[in-house]
Amino acid sequence: MVRVRIEYNRTDCIGAWACVSLGPNDFAMNYDESKADLIEGQNPKPGLQVKELEVDEERLQQIKFAAQSCPPQVIKITNIETGEVLVNWEKPHK
């Protein structure tokens, strides 16, 4: 098991559904806004959704694949225990 932090720059989401299709345990489509939401994510500031969770290797791979498949690359995945950035984003939330 590994503890990860998912950071999602919702502001720059284009509603492509890649994260929802590939990571349905962590992302859901918000049809009213045509953007994804991070399931059980917290909003430390407007436009940014964050959550921390412990996952097994299979779930970790699913989360990483969903983040890597995001066309605008607005999802960052970090191993909390080591600080290693597993998937970096192109458009960090400001």
| CATH number for the domain that contains residue 11 | 3.30.70.20
Per-residue pLDDT at 45: 93
| Total number of domains in the chain | 1
pLDDT, one tens digit per residue, over 13-62 is 999 999 999 999 999 999 999 999 999 999 999 999 999 999 999 999 99
Alpha helices (runs of H) in 7-46, residue ranges in sequence order: 18-22
pLDDT, position 78: 98
Domain presence at residue 7: yes
The three-point CA angle 67-23-46 to 5° equals 60
Is the pLDDT at 91 greater than 80? The verdict is no
Tokens linked to 76: 């960052």
Helix or strand holding residue 57 (H, E): helix 57-68
Examine residue 92 and state whether it is found in any structural domain, yes or no: no
Can you give the residue range of the structural domain that contains 72? 2-87
The pLDDT value recorded for residue 30 is 95
